[in-house]
Amino acid sequence: MASKERILRLKDETRTNILAASIAIVKEEGWQALSMRKIADKIEYTAPIIYEYFSNKDAILNELTREGFVKLAKLMEIAISEHSDPAKQLEAMWLAYWNFAFAEKELYQVMYGVEMNCCAMANTCSDTQITMNMLWDKIEEIIPAEKRTEEYVDTKYYTFWSVVHGLISINMTRKSTSDELNKQVLKDAITGIISSMR
């Protein structure tokens, strides 16, 4: 039994190492440089070993996308727990989203296709829907009952997402303004949209 557990642990470690090596390569050289051979070289394995864990590079991108959404959801849960007012919770969730985008830049890029092709899995895995559902539910909670239709909630969600993701994308592709100005624009936009919902 102990040897089976050890083998499973080694497999998990190798899988984790493959994903960590992928992110390290991207941080050093960009997404265009990522290849199965480079990953194998980085962890000092042969390329065929990598294929035992992931069928191709897209499978690695899919897993990184999934992991990114799981991490982002955890950060949003923390943001919610720090406030009792739903409007403050929603603001904190979007700020956590913003902070995640720059703290985990490479994951954010693969999750949303910033400076690369978007991951095909993005709309098919339940983990990728977690953050959208969390935000959607919080928006729905804030909107007064007389305004609360699915179409209205959806419109507000996409208004938020367009502004926040747009500002992130602009800053990732060409940094032209200060962090202070960006945070002020972000906060103004978030509070303005929240005010319009009430």
Instruction: Write the CATH number for 5.
Output: 1.10.10.60
- pTM of the predicted model as reported, rounded to 2 decimal places: 0.86
User: Do residue 170 and residue 73 come from a single domain?
Assistant: yes
47-99: pLDDT as tens digits: 899 999 999 999 999 999 999 999 999 999 999 999 999 999 999 999 999 99
Q: Does an H or E element contain 147, and which?
A: none
User: Do residue 5 and residue 101 come from a single domain?
Assistant: no
Select the more confidently predicted residue: 178 or 51: 51
pLDDT reading at 121 higher than 80: no
Q: In angstroms, rounded to a whole number, what is the distance separating the alpha carbons of residues 73 and 46? A: 34
Instruction: Write the CATH number for 187.
Output: 1.10.357.10
User: Do residue 114 and residue 20 come from a single domain?
Assistant: no
Q: In angstroms, rounded to a whole number, what is the distance separating the alpha carbons of residues 116 and 109? A: 7
